[in-house]
Amino acid sequence: MNNSSMNIEKISIGHKVKMATMEHLVFTVIAENADGTFSIETQLDQQNVLSYGNISKEMLRKIAS
Q: Report pLDDT for 8.
A: 58
| Number of separate domains in the chain | 1
Q: Which residue has the higher pLDDT, 54 or 65?
A: 54
Handedness of CA 64, 6, 14, 53 (dihedral sign): positive
Quote the domain boundaries for residue 49.
Answer: 3-62
Give the CATH number for residue 17: 2.30.30
Q: What is the pLDDT of residues 1-55, one digit of tens each?
A: 444 444 557 999 999 999 999 999 999 999 999 999 999 999 999 999 999 999 9
Please name which of 56, 58, 21 lies closest in space to residue 39, comparing C-alpha atoms: 56
